[in-house]
Amino acid sequence: MHRFGSNNPLGVDVKGPKDQIPFHPYYTIKDAFGLGVFLIVFSAFVFFAPNFLGHPDNYIPADPLVTPAHIVPEWYFLPFYAILRAIPDKLGGVLFMFGSIAVLFILPWLDRSPVRSGQFRPIFKIFFWILVIDVVALTYLGAKPAEGWYVFFSRIATAYYFAHFLVILPLLSVFETPRQLPKSISEPVIGGGGGFAGATAARRENDR
């Protein structure tokens, strides 16, 4: 961080002062705005709909003689729960469930494209949104009973999830031709003029 500075969504290396802006007030205002929006949404749930994200089964009195017909985890565990149930073997289901998380740790070795941002990789962007749809589908299927078509589609979604990371990403790194990267971060935004940051840097050089 101290030597190279922070990264950016474009994935373009910083070429000079024209590509940099001061942390304050730009990032502090941006973070304060994001925090304010989050607190507004959070307060709406806390004060007006406290049970909206809860499960109705939580209000059923505990009874050791009655087991709920369909037990599901919290919503953020549902994609992995769907993968667990999609595999017919118990041990295999557990391995695939943990493998779906472990595969994220080896992404730097799977996606070897020299371009780090999906902004300049049109084919990668298409497959990224397909992955988003796949994860949403796994979330939906994880909340449904493990029977009939739900299991069938869970297996298809699970197969694509692993194929995306283990097959599609390595192939894209080899065969995809990314678009030309801009020479600097400021070029696609302000035509390389540098704007406020460039003017600030110029004033600093004159002061020296």
Active-site residue (options: 2, 24, 70, 90): 2
Active-site residue (options: 30, 55, 125, 183): 30
Asked if 5 and 23 count as a contact pair (C-beta separation under 8 A), the reply is no
* Annotated catalytic residue 30: yes
* Annotated catalytic residue 187: no
φ, ψ of residue 123 in degrees (nearest 5): -70, -40
* Annotated catalytic residue 74: yes
Hey, what amino acid is at 103? Answer: V
3-state secondary structure 4-47: CCCCCCCCCCCCCHHHCCCHHHHHHHHHHHHHHHHHHHHHHHHH
Asked if 158 and 86 count as a contact pair (C-beta separation under 8 A), the reply is yes
For residue 193, count other CB atoms closer than 10 A to its CB.
12
For residue 55, count other CB atoms closer than 10 A to its CB.
11
* Annotated catalytic residue 2: yes
* Annotated catalytic residue 24: no
Q: Which two tokens stand for residue 151?
A: 């299991």
Closest CA to 9 of 117, 113, 142, 96: 117
Active-site residue (options: 15, 24, 31, 184): 31
Report the alpha-carbon distance of residue 19 to residue 55 in Å, rounded: 48
Active-site residue (options: 24, 63, 74, 89): 74
Q: Which residues are catalytic?
A: 2, 6, 30-31, 74
